[in-house]
Structure 1
Amino acid sequence: MDKSSNLFRIEHENFKPEKGKVLIAEPFLEGKYFKRSIVLLAEYNEDGAVGFVLNKPINLTVDEVLVNISHFDGDVFIGGPVDTNRIYYIHTIPELIPNSIPIIDNLYWGGDFSVLKELIERGNVLAHQIRFFVGYSGWSAGQLQQEILGNSWLVSQLKVEEIMSPYIENLWEKSLRQMGGKYMMWANFPENPSLN
């Protein structure tokens, strides 16, 4: 399939990448981390970008990934290919977790993990308030812009409720349908066109 055709060319003037926006992978982007992925940009500046893949759960709980933490029902997701031996988290409770870094209104990442651990042990954190990631997605200065210009990513926006929702099974398709126009066709494009 020719990615230079109008059907697969992305209009970049509507959304520019910035902190709090999401990247929607174009239908042909391959790889276990980014194929049909939605990536939240937690940081974006002249030095590069940091993001977390929102729609790739790994079917493990936090206490199965980390030692010395109480059981917690929240899902763990693949955040990206960088630093996969660490856990990262985004949340909506900055008033409870000191040193949280704002992403957009009502959405934060990181913060004091020892405080978070205590909150989990006391049952003061609910699964819909926090999301954990193994690793993160990172781009060096100028790298993400080149990938966007190469039509690998569509930049869009999701509400905090959508970002934190446990119902992410069809998030890639749903996000494209919300964009409308030709992007609705992207959502229906088969994962393997040769099987169609």
Structure 2
Amino acid sequence: MAEAIYVGRLLVATPLLDDPNFRRSVVLVLEHDEDGGTLGVVINRPSEVAVTQVLPSWDPLVTGPPVLFEGGPVQTDSALALAAVLSGEEPLGWRRLQGRSTMSRLGTVDLDAPPEILAGEISQMRIFAGYAGWTGGQLQAELEEGAWYVVDSEPGDTFNSDPGALWRNVLRRQQGDLALVATFPEDPQQN
């Protein structure tokens, strides 16, 4: 039986997924509709591009590392920002993710809004170039092929200070045999 997909859950690439866009990626689900498809961002791929190079006015609000993250292969020339708010209120320029209660302080940022209106309202923020998207039924087919694990997220995942270790760390905290996958070598032929 496949795990339920909903906003706030993580899609963790299995070792079988060798697509370079998603190899060892961790995707936070931002939108999901069984018929309409799924949208998310890869949260463990910092790029080499500094936020100051692309969106300098937002740089002071970004949680380290202060770079754009590679959110996925779709519309890589556009930016999407996620931020956690300090209170349960919904400040101007921020829209709450419509998911489980654990996601109540996480939302998207309107990057066309002046950063000053959110400066005192958010505690953490990341900006992603592009996103990951699946049409209706496409993600389900990939799940059936064994390309993804669907697991719960934890509050620190989205703004993890060591995004390069997130794939292993997310798997390591799972129950049973799934935790063993964290030890899977980068290149199984070198084993």
- Please tell me the TM-score bracket, short chain as reference: 0.7 to 0.9
Q: Deviations over 1:90-123 (max 9, x none)?
A: 11126334351424311112336323x3357xx6
Q: Deviations over 1:105-147 (max 9, x none)?
A: 11112336323x3357xx6477x51111000000001101111
Q: Which residue of 2 aligns with 1:156?
A: 151
Cα distance in structure 2, aligned partners of 1:156 and 1:81:
22
* 1:63 counterpart letter in structure 2: T
SS at 1:174 equivalent? helix
Q: Which residue of 1 aligns with 2:116?
A: 118
Q: CA deviation at 1:70?
A: 5.7
* 2:21 counterpart letter in structure 1: Y
Q: Which residue of 2 aligns with 1:63?
A: 52
Alpha carbons of 1:65 and 1:182: their partners in 2 closer, same or farther (altered >3 Å)? Answer: same
Q: Which residue of 1 aligns with 2:82?
A: 90
Q: State the structure with more CA Rg.
A: 1
Q: How does 1:103-114 map to 2 (within 5 A)?
A: 103=98, 104-111=103-110, 113-114=112-113
Q: 32-41 vs 73-82, which deviates more?
A: 73-82
Are 2:146 and 1:147 equivalent residues in the alignment?
A: no
Cα distance in structure 2, aligned partners of 1:195 and 1:99:
46
Q: Which residue of 2 aligns with 1:76?
A: 68
Are 2:51 and 1:53 equivalent residues in the alignment?
A: no
Q: Which residue of 1 aligns with 2:188?
A: 193
Cα distance in structure 2, aligned partners of 1:71 and 1:162:
20
Q: Which residue of 2 aligns with 1:3?
A: none
CA contact (8 A) 2:90 2:96 kept: no
Q: Which residue of 2 aligns with 1:35?
A: 23
Q: CA RMSD in A?
A: 2.2
Q: Which residue of 1 aligns with 2:13?
A: 25
Aligned-pair identity (%) = 30
Q: Deviations over 1:125-171 (max 9, x none)?
A: 77x51111000000001101111111100001112222222222211
* TM-score when normalising by structure 2: 0.83
Q: Which residue of 1 aligns with 2:160?
A: 165
